[in-house]
Amino acid sequence: MPLVEARGLTRTYRKGEQEIRPLDGLDLDIDAGRFVALMGPSGSGKSTLLNLLAGIDRPTAGSLVVDGVDLAALSRRELAEWRSRKVSIVFQLYNLVPVLTAYENVELPLLLHDLPRRERHARVVRALERAHIAHRHDHMPRQLSGGEEQRVAIARAIVTEPALLLADEPTGDLDRSSAESILDLLSSLHRDEGRTIVMVTHDPRAAERAQATLHLEKGRVAETIARTGAKESSRAPANTEAHA
């Protein structure tokens, strides 16, 4: 059974008289352990899809099952609890809490878990080390470069060991070399630890790091480009169920 299973996923917004349908009957399966890139023109619903996967937004229609849980069935409170255990998001603008140190930022999601102090500390240190940013643990976000902030944000995202790691244009605000090293980090999280990652990106070079690229268009997955080891790729026909 895939980790993510979306059927007829639809999200509409009302803007006065007008109805916008960024997602319109989208079907999507993502297996555990995959690294998937999500591409598409601006406004094609990439963030909308990511938000639904993250459990911070709810579909207008259709079903979304993540790790065996039907998100539509959860109350607001249950959904918040689910988020704190199952999913993490890495944002384009890092979204660190400016008044907390790097260490405290990474600790923040763990405070929602029942953990002994020592265990929590060990996990925070491990996550910081894993993101190669442990040496900056007592720095405030404003004392860090963009690339360093994003490393802290990734440490914060993996510290809870989520089943699903989401990233919305994680390199969109970084220079080339910082972007490359962030992509290296995400790749190694996937390769070495088997993390499931869904990454929205505009950058084809970033997308190349993923095993598969989903193209969103008109509210659905228009094509899937799979990459297996080398550069060989297969194209799935549009408007069928995408499987990544």
Partner 1 sequence: MRRLPFEYSVRNLGRSPLRLSLAFAGALLVAALATAAAALLLGMDRALSASALHANAIVLGSGSEESLERSEIQPAVASILAASVPGIPAIAGTALVSPEAVMALPVEIGDDPEPRRALVRGVEPAALLLHPGVRVVEGRFPERGASDLAGEAMVGLRAERQLALPPGSLSLGTRVRIEGSEFVVVGRFEAPGSVMEPEIWAPLSDVLAAAKRTTISCVVVALDPEGGAALQDLAAFAARRLDLEIAVLSEEEYFASLRRFFAPLRWMIVVAAALVAIGAVLGGLNTLHAAFASRSREVGTLQALGYGRGAVLLSFAQESLLLTAAASIAAVLLCRALLDGVGIAFSMGTFAFRVDATAVAAGLAAGLALALLGALVSALASLRRTIPEALRAP
**Sites of contact with Mg ion (CB under 5 A):** 47
92 interacts with ligand ADP by CB under 6 A? no
Give least dist CB 80 to partner 1, A: 5
Map the footprint of partner 1 across residues 146-165, applying CB under 8 A.
156
Q: Beta strand 87-90 with 242-243: parallel, antiparallel or unpaired? A: unpaired
55 interacts with ligand ADP by CB under 6 A? no
170 interacts with partner 1 by CB under 8 A? no
Q: What span, in angstroms and rounded, lies between the C-alpha atoms of 208 and 165?
A: 18
Give least dist CB 244 to partner 1, A: 23
Task: State the distance between the two ends of the chain, measured CA to CA, in whole angstroms.
Answer: 13
84 interacts with partner 1 by CB under 8 A? yes
Provide the token pair at 186.
């995400």
Neighbours of 55 (CB within 10 A): 24
Backbone phi, psi, residue 48, to 5°: -60, -45
Residue 22 binding result from ligand ADP, partner 1, Mg ion, none, given CB thresholds of 5 to 8 Å by partner type: ligand ADP
Region binding partner 1 by CB under 8 A among candidate stretches 25-33, 64-72, 95-103, 120-128: 95-103
With tokens 């060989």, the residue in question is: 232
Q: Which of 173, 103, 179, 177 is nearest to 143 (CA)?
A: 103
Give CA torsion, residues 146, 148, 152, 157, to 10 deg.
60
What are the residues binding partner 1 (CB under 8 A)?
47-48, 51, 54, 56-57, 77, 80-81, 83-85, 89, 91, 93, 95, 97-100, 104, 108-109, 111-112, 156
What are the residues binding ligand ADP (CB under 6 A)?
13, 15, 20, 22, 40, 42-48
